Amino acid sequence: MTELQNVLVHKEALQQRVRELGADISRDYAGKDLVLIGILKGAAVFMADLMREISFPVGIDFMAVSSYGTAATTSGAVIIKKDIDTDIRGRHILLVEDLIDTGLTLKHLKEHFLNSGALSVRICTILNKPSRRLADVEVEYSGIEIPDEFVVGYGLDYAEQYRNLPEVWVVKTGEAD
């Protein structure tokens, strides 16, 4: 049985941090041609909030990926299930993610976009589990660091449920008592 255990990050804390990230990004990319690329499905909620905190026009696109094997066996290679349809050559890319865990997915995507002719590629995540990192990948815009707990809400799912929760919750998984 699955149940929600407790709120880990409240709505107000998410809103505040998204505003700060938007201000940082607006300052760092002022006068530049920026494309935000959200990683589906988890980043959809964060993406919608973040883009509205950026003070100049940006391009947006989305992609969906899945990784080969498990974190223990994967090389970090990912399968692109849905690709972007934006021409990103010569443009600055900001990858927008819900949560960085091992970092393997984002490390691969960063290299993928650099090899595809992007001028620069940075990473922005709303949640970050630094204790779980396996890949050596720089996260230029890191929202809120959380402990190694399985979380849902604010775009994140458990079996495709709970993405619509406005807060981030810890899930309790295990046997019913």
In the complex with ligand 5GP, the residue whose CB is nearer, 119 or 158, is: 158
Q: How far is the CB of 15 from ligand 5GP (least distance, A)?
A: 20
Distances (CA, A) of 136 to 39, 58, 85: 19, 28, 28
Select from ligand 5GP, Mg ion, none the partner in contact with residue 93, using the beta carbon and a kind-dependent cut-off of 5 to 8 Å. Answer: none
Q: Which is nearer to Mg ion, 39 or 109 (CB)?
A: 39
In the complex with ligand 5GP, the residue whose CB is nearer, 118 or 156, is 156
For 59-81, b/e burial (b = at least 16 CB within 10 A) is: bbebbebebeeeeeebebebeee
Site for ligand 5GP in 14-73 (CB under 6 A): 42, 71
Q: Which does 102 bind (CB under 5 to 8 A by kind): ligand 5GP, Mg ion, none?
A: ligand 5GP
- Determine if 99 is a binding residue for ligand 5GP (CB under 6 A): yes
Q: What angle do CA 72, 161, 94 make, to 5 degrees?
A: 60
Q: Quick check: is 101 catalytic?
A: yes
> For residues 128 and 102, is the Cβ–Cβ distance under 8 A?
no
Strand order in the sheet with 151-152: 2-9, 168-173, 151-152
Contact residues for ligand 5GP, defined by CB under 6 A: 42, 71, 97-105, 150-152, 156-158
Contact residues for Mg ion, defined by CB under 5 A: 39, 42, 98, 157
